[in-house]
Amino acid sequence: MNHTRPWAQKVTAEIGKAVLGQNQIVERLLVALLANGHVLLEGMPGLAKTLLIRSLGTALGLKFERIQFTPDLLPSDVVGTMVFQPKDGQFIPHLGPIFANLVLADEINRAPAKVQSALLEAMQERQVTIGGTSHKLPHPFFVMATQNPVEQEGTYPLPEAQRDRFLFKLMVDYPAEAEEREMMRRWGQVTVQPELAPVSDGAELLALRAQVDAIHVSDAIQAYMLALVRATRALIAGAGAAPGTPPALPTGPAVAPAKQLLSYGASPRASLGLYQAGKALAWLRGLDHVPPGIVQEIFLDVMRHRVGLSYEAEAEGVGADQILLGVIDRTPVPASALVAGH
């Protein structure tokens, strides 16, 4: 039986004082923290995406900064700039809001590509360059970005290279009726607002990563992860099947042929993300190894933003999640991975 770690229980309970429901989203955010990965959250306005990330930062005792992305935002507004000092005639760096442990890039798709690209070095290298000098970012460092799936006027879609830097793309849905009713009961009064307190810190989070690294991933599970990722490349429009991977087609009517489903498949960074996230989720559930079920559970969150739909797939109304579920259905689990739960 899986047992949630005490660390996750206390952090989740503290976040629950401000955010009701969204338990799976909270769990995935904790997985991303343990796996040292960034997260992209997509959902309709008013679903507490910003509140959730702010509450996470408070519960973990991390330095938190929120950047509201707008069309007139400049790269210097994110990373900082050089400021002239009249007294000594020198330029000194003024560090921007990116210098925090947890950075919320709110409505990231509302800023132009030049601003979005300012995050790339920070997300990948954990450093930024100001005035020709590199500055290390705090440790730990995470970017959690939000975007609205329906308002497309004045927005700039994230380039593929930047999307690939996010470990997860999480889809935030509406709360259940009972949860929404409880929200009204708890916070219907203007003067009553939830107050959170730190229950962990960055040092504890960094220490827990050593335990995550110790989670066992068998050779069979590694082969299974690779087979899943490489199967997406077999669905690239105009390409043949990748060597060693079976065809992966979603089931159901009106589905485009295999060679027309995707315009591009997942990169090797997806394989690393699946490996790291699988270990982190297994640790969070109290396991000492990664079973096939964990890989399948985390697969869509790691992959949905790393594949591109072909025109044929979009015309047929076939979404990324449907294609990826088909990959899971058609990719056999190695028999050796099922022995003794490994």
pLDDT in tens, 325-342: 999 999 999 877 766 455
1 lies in some domain: no
340 lies in some domain: no
Among the three residues 178, 209, 240, which one is the final residue of a domain in this structure?
209
Q: Which residue has the higher pLDDT, 91 or 50?
A: 50
50 lies in some domain: yes
Q: Which of 342, 340, 322, 319 has the alpha carbon at shortest distance from 330? A: 322
194 lies in some domain: no
What CATH number is associated with residue 140? 3.40.50.300
Q: In which band, very low, low, confident or very high, does the pLDDT at 2 lie, cut at 50, 70 and 90?
A: low
Same domain, 38 and 162: yes
Same domain, 204 and 238: no
Is 80 exceeded by the pLDDT of residue 195?
yes
66 lies in some domain: yes
Instruction: Copy the structure tokens of residue 136.
Output: 């290390």
Mean pLDDT is lowest, of 171-175, 285-289, 311-315, for 311-315
Which pLDDT belongs to residue 255?
39
Mean pLDDT of the chain: 85
Q: Which residue has the higher pLDDT, 257 or 158?
A: 158
Same domain, 204 and 121: yes
139 lies in some domain: yes
Tell me the residue range of the domain where 267 lies. Answer: 214-334
Which pLDDT belongs to residue 154?
63
Tens digit of each residue's pLDDT (9 = 90 or more) over 161-180: 888 999 999 999 888 888 88
Among the three residues 154, 181, 209, which one is the final residue of a domain in this structure?
209
Same domain, 166 and 227: no
229 lies in some domain: yes
Q: In which band, very low, low, confident or very high, does the pLDDT at 246 lie, cut at 50, 70 and 90?
A: very low
Same domain, 178 and 250: no
Is 50 exceeded by the pLDDT of residue 12?
yes
What CATH number is associated with residue 294? 1.10.8.80
Among the three residues 176, 209, 242, which one is the final residue of a domain in this structure?
209
Tell me the whole-structure pTM to 2 decimals: 0.86
Same domain, 34 and 178: yes
Each as own residue / partner, the long-range contacts of residues 244-253 (CB below 8 Å, 24 or more positions apart, any chain) are 245/331, 246/330, 246/331, 246/332, 247/330, 248/323, 248/326, 248/327, 248/329, 248/330, 248/331, 249/326, 249/330, 250/318, 250/322, 250/323, 250/325, 250/326, 250/329, 251/326, 251/329, 252/322
Same domain, 61 and 111: yes
Same domain, 221 and 135: no
Which pLDDT belongs to residue 64?
92
Q: Are 166 and 42 in contact (CB under 8 A)?
A: no
Is 50 exceeded by the pLDDT of residue 10?
yes
Same domain, 137 and 229: no
Same domain, 150 and 297: no
Is 80 exceeded by the pLDDT of residue 194?
no
Q: Are 95 and 133 in contact (CB under 8 A)?
A: no
Number of domains in the chain: 2
Same domain, 78 and 160: yes
Q: Which residue has the higher pLDDT, 263 or 215?
A: 215
Same domain, 328 and 244: yes
Distance CA 77, CA 67 (A): 9
Q: In which band, very low, low, confident or very high, does the pLDDT at 278 lie, cut at 50, 70 and 90?
A: very high
DSSP H helices in the chain: 6-15, 23-34, 49-59, 75-79, 113-125, 160-163, 177-187, 202-213, 219-233, 268-284, 292-303, 311-315, 320-330
DSSP 61-74: T--EEEEE--TT--
342 lies in some domain: no
